[in-house]
Copies of this chain bind each other. A is one copy, B any other.
Amino acid sequence: MIEASAVFSSSLDLNEVLDHVMTEGQRALDAEASSVFQIDEATKELYFVLALGEKGEAAKKIRVPWGEGVVGWVAKYGKSVLVPDVRKDPRFYQKVDEKSKFITRSILAVPLIVKGKVIGVAEVLNKRSGTFSERDLEMFQGLARQAAIAIENATLYKEQAELALGAVTSLATAIDAKDPYTIGHSKRVTEYSRLIGYELQLGEGLRRNLEWSAILHDVGKIGIPDSILQKPGDLTPEEWDAIRKHPLKGADIMAPIRLLRDVIPGMRHHHERYDGTGYPDGLADGDIPRLARIICVADSFDAMMSDRPYRAAMKEPDALRRLRELSGTQFDGQVVEAFVRVYKRERIRGG
């Protein structure tokens, strides 16, 4: 099960800001290397967010336990530390040097503090000329303040993005739950769509739009009366018409949201068929927006795999075979092949 927030990565330029700030610090303080650590709240370990200098890449995989080493000490006590000679400081944590093959001589480390809380540590290593001074410390604290703000901003952005997707997911889930046959449907369609997006190597922006489009694809059902949505027997032609309006209704509901403008085509067209006989607009093959072609396969597969009032759920191999049979008529064959490939690989069990 892939978490909803996994691909919804922050697009705030955290690395660029940190890189700029620390490069400046390293240059101004005439240091050989510099790093920024963040604290993993779950394990209470420090991990590298940035490591500049010769062995930076090697260092990045290492984690420092909370309270251990100079940076662990700084994280624990929230105080800056100036270590002119690491051989004389018992707090020095050898393991990073051992693993990275870097030789640390001197350290200047300052806590990154946001709203009174230590969120990480910034350090510069090995002053080339002389030793780190109190003035160096003051200067570096100013830069650390910038780094802390950059990290905090990226965190706030990520939280906000998670809030947006989380809140609509909750509402879409509640709308699905009105019909006992579609409980959890939109979430599963979103998972399938996400897998297809990865398999087709869509860019991050497209994958993000796909995720939104998939979670919202059926919200137009809010506008369909329960009496039709939950009708156990055959539907009249008028009732079918009402059902067929849900992609348009969904698109209308989200139309006012500027940031969702590229999300709406995937919602509106997820019931088009590759041969042009679908709805609402009877679009065919390449004219159907790509995200809609993906959601169509994901949506149909989940429907096949679910019980309906008039039939039982299909077995997995039968549903996969059916997708392939309908390649080129109902579905885009390339999307079906991507889905079958990734589905088998990931062995998703649904739900």
Listed in ascending order, the chain A residues whose CB lies under 8 Å from chain B are: 11-13, 16-17, 20-21, 24, 142, 145-146, 149, 152-153, 156-157, 159-164, 166-168, 170-171, 173-175, 177-178, 219, 222-223, 225-227, 253-254, 256-260
Contact = CB atoms under 8 A, between A and B. Distances in A.
Given A153-B157, A159-B259, A222 B174 contact: yes
A253 B164 contact: no
A160 B9 CA distance: 13
A149 B338 CA distance: 37
Contacts of A17: 146, 149
Contact of A257 (B16, B163, B178): B163
Nearest to A157: B157
B156 A257 contact: no
A258 B162 CA distance: 9
A149 B13 contact: yes
Contacts of A16: 149
Contact of A253 (B13, B142, B170, B222): B170
A211 to B, nearest CB: 13
Given A20-B146, A146-B17, A260 B167 contact: yes
A168 B259 CA distance: 13
Give the number of copies in the complex. Answer: 2
Given A24-B142, A163-B259, A167-B254, 16 more contacts: A12-B153, A12-B157, A17-B149, A20-B142, A153-B157, A157-B157, A160-B259, A166-B256, A167-B260, A170-B257, A171-B222, A171-B253, A173-B253, A174-B222, A174-B253, A225-B226
9 contacts: A11-B156, A160-B161, A164-B167, A166-B259, A167-B168, A170-B256, A174-B222, A177-B223, A226-B227
Nearest to A24: B142
A171 to B, nearest CB: 5
Nearest to A170: B253
Nearest to A13: B149
Most buried by B among A171, A178, A254, A259: A171
Contacts of A12: 153, 156-157
Contact of A254 (B11, B153, B170): B170
Contacts of A170: 253-254, 256-257
A172 B225 CA distance: 16
B11 A260 contact: no
A162 B189 CA distance: 25
Contacts of A227: 226-227
Nearest to A20: B146
A167 B257 contact: yes
Contact of A162 (B21, B219, B259): B259
A174 B13 contact: no
Nearest to A228: B226
A258 B161 CA distance: 12
Nearest to A16: B149
Contact of A164 (B160, B226, B254): B160
Nearest to A17: B149
B260 A163 contact: yes
